[in-house]
Structure 1
Amino acid sequence: MKLSNDFVLSFFGLKEGKHRFEYKIDKQFFESYSFDEFLDADFSVTLDFVKKSTLLELHFENKGMATVACDVTNEPFELPLDGSLDLVVKFGDTYNDENEEVLILPHGEHQLDVSQYIYEMIALTVPLKKIHPGIEDGSLKSDILNKLEELSPDKNKETDEIDPRWEDLKKLLIDKNK
């Protein structure tokens, strides 16, 4: 996977203090990660970067829309997604990313690729089940939805006729209570 250098943050020449970076994320970004849940994507990501003498603090925020397929009807719809991620970067002897909130970079490292963190932040905001809003409010008209309704068991067709075996079992309960 090769992304542009737009996501490589060189912090060596930055002064201590707060810096802000903004990124535009589209479908191509997710294709580079083989993430195919989005039919289209348009996100703005803001990175507030605080450089201190011994560590770096990163606060990511994303806001945008992704066009996804409904899990029930497969109809495409726009799903608003927003989220945030905080990351602390410390310096040590070896690279270590085992902790999801703390990244340790080797001493002498002067840049950080933030693309993986942006990808994870957005991908983790996608709900497990994506349902078209038209299904919930009843405004979606679809052949697939009509077929699902046709095949679903109708709750209004309860029969008054009871299996005679159940009647015999009910008699046993009544006899037991006497």
Structure 2
Amino acid sequence: MQVSKYLKQYRIPFSGLAAGKHEFDFEIDNKFFDCYEHSLIKKGQLKAEVELQKQENMLVVNFHIHGTIQLSCDVCLADFDAPLDFKERALVKFTEEDWENNTEEVLVLSKTDYELDIAELLYEYINVRVPYYSKCSEQGENLSCDPEMLAKISVETDGKQKENTEEKIDPRWDILKNIKNN
């Protein structure tokens, strides 16, 4: 599968559309995330409902993205599905000049452009929602961490704590402590 061919389905040809609101639906699945080599998300099943409002010299694009993404728990290392449901908005302005200064909310296209590629926007909007720290019980629905893995982790940490308390204190430190008391 060629990456660019797959992402072509996330383009909206707006040049033939009449002024007003138009709605589009896009499915976002594992193949979408495979197109991005360093994606934080490898698996997911989402739907993007896109409302495009065409005006004379700009487009207003509203996104409603909902579904699930697969995350790995940072505590028990289990993979789990985390629900996502959010809305975003982008403004698209047209200009005849060469303009490279896109901002987070305003995109600039040439007046000769005839379609809007939303694949990059969808990718960014979804990846920004990945939590810095994922945990089954916090991002998952009705989930808790794997008790077997938690038991193994607690055994290891208890063993390390016992080792730390049993360390012999170097007698030279005791002598230095006496200096502080003088």
The two structures share one fold, judged by TM-score above 0.5: yes
Quick check: 2:102–2:108 contact (8 Å CA) kept in 1?
A: no
1:121 to 115, 125, 129: 125
State the alpha-carbon separation in 1 of the partners of residues 110 and 39 from structure 2.
Answer: 34
Tell which deviates more after alignment, 1-10 or 101-110.
1-10
Aligned partner of 2:30 in structure 1 is: 27
State the alpha-carbon separation in 2 of the partners of residues 138 and 46 from structure 1.
Answer: 31
Aligned partner of 2:152 in structure 1 is: 147
Aligned partner of 1:162 in structure 2 is: none
The share of aligned pairs that are identical, in percent, is: 27
State the alpha-carbon separation in 1 of the partners of residues 107 and 145 from structure 2.
Answer: 47
Deviation for aligned residue 1:80 = 0.8
Is residue 2:72 matched to residue 1:69? yes
What is the identity, as a one-letter code, of the residue corresponding to 1:132? C
Contiguous gaps of at least 5 residues in structure 2: 166-182
Taking structure 2 as the reference length, the TM-score comes to 0.76
Contiguous gaps of at least 5 residues in structure 1: 159-178
What is the identity, as a one-letter code, of the residue corresponding to 2:27? K
Quick check: 1:43–1:64 contact (8 Å CA) kept in 2?
A: yes
State the alpha-carbon separation in 1 of the partners of residues 56 and 40 from structure 2.
Answer: 40
Quick check: 1:71–1:129 contact (8 Å CA) kept in 2?
A: yes
Judging changes above 3 Å, is the alpha-carbon distance between structure 1 residues 122 and 18 closer, same or farther for their aligned structure 2 residues? Answer: same
State the alpha-carbon separation in 1 of the partners of residues 86 and 130 from structure 2.
Answer: 10
Quick check: 1:61–1:83 contact (8 Å CA) kept in 2?
A: yes
Is residue 2:50 matched to residue 1:47? yes
Q: How does 1:126-141 map to 2 (within 5 A)?
A: 126-133=130-137, 140-141=146-147
Q: Which digits, 9 at most, give the CA deviation of each residue in 1:72-117, with x for residues without a partner? A: 1111111111222211111113243531110111121111111100
State the alpha-carbon separation in 2 of the partners of residues 141 and 28 from structure 1.
Answer: 32
Judging changes above 3 Å, is the alpha-carbon distance between structure 1 residues 34 and 138 closer, same or farther for their aligned structure 2 residues? Answer: closer
When the two chains are superposed, the root-mean-square deviation of aligned CA atoms in Å is 3.1
Which structure is higher in helix share? Answer: 2
Tell which deviates more after alignment, 20-29 or 33-42.
33-42
Aligned partner of 2:177 in structure 1 is: none
